[in-house]
Amino acid sequence: MKKNNSDINLRIEKLREEIRRHDHLYYVLAQPEVSDAKYDELYAELKKIEDENPHLITPDSPTQRVGGAPTKEFQNVTHSIPMLSLSNTYSEEDIRDFDKRVNGLLEGRQYSYVCELKFDGVSLAIRYENGILKSAITRGDGVQGDEITQNVKTIRSVPLKLNISSTLPRNCEIRGEVVMNHTDFNKMNEEKELTGEKLFANPRNSVAGTLKLQDPQIVGTRPLRFIAYLLLDQLNDGNHFDNLHKLKQLGFLVDTNAKRFDDIEGVINFWKEWEIKRESLPFDIDGIVVKVNSLRQQEMLGAIAKSPRWAIACKFKSRKADTILLDIKLQVGRTGTITPVAILEPVKIGGTMVSRASLYNEDYIREKDIRIGDTVVVERGGDVIPKVTSVLFENRKKTSVPFIFPKKCPECKSKLVRFDDEANYYCENSECPMQIRGRIIHWAARGAMDISGLGDAVVDQLVSNEFVHNVADLYDLFKFRDKLKSLERWGEKSVDNLLDGIEKSKSREFNRILFALGIRHVGSSISQVIVDHFSTIEELMKVSVENLQNINEIGPKIAESIVRYLSDPHNKKVVTRLKAAGLKMASQRNKKSGPFQGKNIVLTGSLSNFTRDQAKELIESLGGKVSSTVSKNIDILVVGLDAGSKLEKAKKLGIETWDEEKFLSIINLHKKVTDV
């Protein structure tokens, strides 16, 4: 029966409400109620109804977060009220002075303060009209900023529609900070490292860089969060603390650490406490912000030049320091990546002694014109490794010379190579002791084979005493039990522990092994993708670069790297030995069976009974694989309406083509058979 319009409208609204509620539970409250699969199901249903009824799509629909077309240039717009900055204070005395000024200007009236964390991100103004997100604007110069609405819509902690009630505003502007958590930042940089892309220096830079991207689709993949700290509406007689509560009710993330104080002593203690507690936060803060609570009093106090008189920032001790760059050493990673490291005259930064810092790569050193002997600025942020961020050129000695990147590996002296499109140099000698060490440490690591008893120091001893040259040697170590016991600081118990840990690692799944092998550009998620498509190592060893690229998530770099790794005779031997030692070189998951078993299928044109995602899911559930491009390895091309070049190519290659009817009939036939 065909559904009538009001049924459809009701269902759409119900789905949108449900999805909004789950987004809020997940992204704002961090208390999800349903599984990802259930969420995806709701989303897919909404998307399907909207695809079929495009006139019912509204800008506040959860499907409209991503989908905006890339922008060529952002519009420059004027802020409703200028976005002021805060004056900074750095000492207890400064904070007391601020309080004296407030006290004087308020002429003996009672007042209180709200203290909040000062988030180290990028500030943003978001306008809502009748409860619907209308525009989002960067701070810019404070008077005018860039309109980046499409990008901001992809941030899941920004509601597209406010949670409205009679006590909450519908027409308002929300100001706050976009931040990125340390773990998300590190993960993102690790992935960038795997694909050889430029790394971001710190979470704030990565937020700023992301918000400026012209493609909202990419912005949507970046883990940004928006924390609201100001509510601007028509009501000026309330107070800021209540506004923070309103912001929370409207659906925003707010600072749950915010506190109200009646005197400046409380403010000073809050500042001192957070200077220490900042380490435990998942994101960077660079101080606290103190605001006079009453909005009327804020208005009375007003602003001078570019900052308000009713608020100040109380900054923490700097996480930056100047020191001398004594030397630049090269570090060799497990895949042979060479990383230059700054050796510094030790300096205390935020309570920690720092004597080494990252210099990333040759281009970074050249761009910043960093030279040995220079006075450099070193920064430490969150749990990120310290890095050299700039040079104090005024201190540069006339005799200084630019750093010439060494041409040989500092460990094994083999020639270093740099590929055209990559920033790093590599040591290509896979027998380089530092690479062996790195590969074994990676093999034993948590997310990989997770071998207890095989820490860095143990690996050092095993490699330097030539017990192991590769990961397969670990599984022969039991033959050398007695010799191991005689190693310095080793005994019966530690040897047993190690051998036991190695034995246990034999039960790890195939995807973990693939990740643990340390193939360049193959992280844990790509390993999972590979296992989804190839159930044994033999299958994977036979695949060509071209075929691998048929998998959506695998681009040319990853494909080439996998094939190069698995065709190397030395690596082949290691893999064979690992299999012989009893490691699981095949996926244990039940292979899906059905009419598409073993078939490689491409979809083209639009299907009338399914969305692309639904068709893909169906094929996979019936044993098939879906690829995105037509090549000679494709078995079937399913052709919908308005098919283009894929159909032509398939015809040329003589590939079997099915129309939607045939596709449906095969599925239905299978259903009939299995339903009996």
Note the residues at the interface with ligand IVH (CB under 6 A). Answer: 84-86, 116, 118-119, 123, 139, 177, 229-230, 289, 308, 311, 313
CB of 381 to ligand IVH, least distance (A): 15
Q: Give 86 or 650: the residue with its C-beta nearer to ligand IVH.
A: 86
CB of 295 to ligand IVH, least distance (A): 13
Q: Give 176 or 333: the residue with its C-beta nearer to ligand IVH.
A: 176
CB of 269 to ligand IVH, least distance (A): 18
Q: Give 117 or 462: the residue with its C-beta nearer to ligand IVH.
A: 117
State the burial class of residue 179 (Cβ atoms within 10 Å of its Cβ: 0-12, 13-18, 19+).
buried
State the burial class of residue 136 (Cβ atoms within 10 Å of its Cβ: 0-12, 13-18, 19+).
buried
CB of 588 to ligand IVH, least distance (A): 49
CB of 184 to ligand IVH, least distance (A): 19
**DSSP letter string, 398-446:** TT--PPPPPSB-TTT-PBEEE-TT-S-EEE--TT-HHHHHHHHHHHHST
Do the beta carbons of residue 379 and residue 286 sit within 8 Å? no
- Count of positions (residues) in the chain: 676
Q: Give 314 or 643: the residue with its C-beta nearer to ligand IVH.
A: 314
Q: Give 84 or 581: the residue with its C-beta nearer to ligand IVH.
A: 84
Encoded tokens for 640: 């919908």
Q: Give 232 or 326: the residue with its C-beta nearer to ligand IVH.
A: 232
State the burial class of residue 642 (Cβ atoms within 10 Å of its Cβ: 0-12, 13-18, 19+).
exposed
Instruction: Say how far apart CA 251 and CA 183 lie, in whole Å.
Output: 24
Q: CA-based Rg of the chain, rounded to a whole angstrom?
A: 30
Question: Which residue in the list 38, 118, 134, 493 is annotated as catalytic?
Answer: 118
Q: Is 118 a catalytic residue?
A: yes
| DSSP state at residue 4 | P
Q: Give 289 or 585: the residue with its C-beta nearer to ligand IVH.
A: 289
What backbone torsions phi and psi does residue 275 show, to the nearest 5 degrees? -60, -35
CB of 250 to ligand IVH, least distance (A): 17
CB of 291 to ligand IVH, least distance (A): 7
3-class state of residue 178 by DSSP = strand
Give residue number: closest CB to ligand IVH: 123
Instruction: Say how far apart CA 541 and CA 534 lie, in whole Å.
Output: 10
User: The tokens 């430490």 sit on which residue?
Assistant: 380
Do the beta carbons of residue 113 and residue 261 sit within 8 Å? yes
Do the beta carbons of residue 85 and residue 142 sit within 8 Å? yes
How does strand 625-627 pair with strand 600-604?
A: parallel
Instruction: Say how far apart CA 222 and CA 217 lie, in whole Å.
Output: 9
From the list 227, 420, 201, 434, the residue with the least C-alpha distance to 334 is 434
**DSSP letter string, 259-294:** EEESSHHHHHHHHHHHHHHGGGSSS-EEEEEEEESB
Q: At what angle do helices 92-105 and 264-277 cross, to 10 degrees?
A: 150
Q: Give 77 or 84: the residue with its C-beta nearer to ligand IVH.
A: 84
Q: Give 116 or 379: the residue with its C-beta nearer to ligand IVH.
A: 116
Q: Give 88 or 217: the residue with its C-beta nearer to ligand IVH.
A: 88
487, 490, 494, 499 alpha-carbon torsion, rounded to 10°: 0
- Contacts of 166 by beta carbon, 8 Å cutoff, 6+ apart: none
Instruction: Say how far apart CA 545 and CA 568 lie, in whole Å.
Output: 14
Task: Give the DSSP H or E segment for 523.
Answer: none
From its phi and psi, is residue 239 left (phi > 0), alpha (psi between -120 and 50) or beta?
Answer: beta
CB of 641 to ligand IVH, least distance (A): 50
CB of 316 to ligand IVH, least distance (A): 13
Cβ burial 61-97 (10 Å sphere, 16+ → b, else e) = bbbbbeebeebeebeebebeeebbebbebeeeeebee
Q: Is the dihedral of CA 390, 394, 396, 398 positive or negative?
A: positive
Longest dimension (CA), the chain: 89
Encoded tokens for 84: 């002021």
CB of 275 to ligand IVH, least distance (A): 15
Beta bridge partners of 387: 358, 379
CB of 87 to ligand IVH, least distance (A): 8
CB of 165 to ligand IVH, least distance (A): 25
Q: What does the H/E/C string look like for 71-112?
A: CCCCEEEECCCCCCCCEEECCHHHHHHHHHHHHHHCCCCCCC
Q: Give 87 or 611: the residue with its C-beta nearer to ligand IVH.
A: 87
Q: Give 89 or 429: the residue with its C-beta nearer to ligand IVH.
A: 89
Q: Give 230 or 638: the residue with its C-beta nearer to ligand IVH.
A: 230
Q: What is the distance, to the nearest Å, from the Cα of residue 362 to the centroid of all Cα atoms in its chain? A: 25
| DSSP state at residue 143 | S
Give the chain's end-to-end CA distance (angstroms, integer): 26
Question: Which residues does the annotation mark as catalytic?
Answer: 118
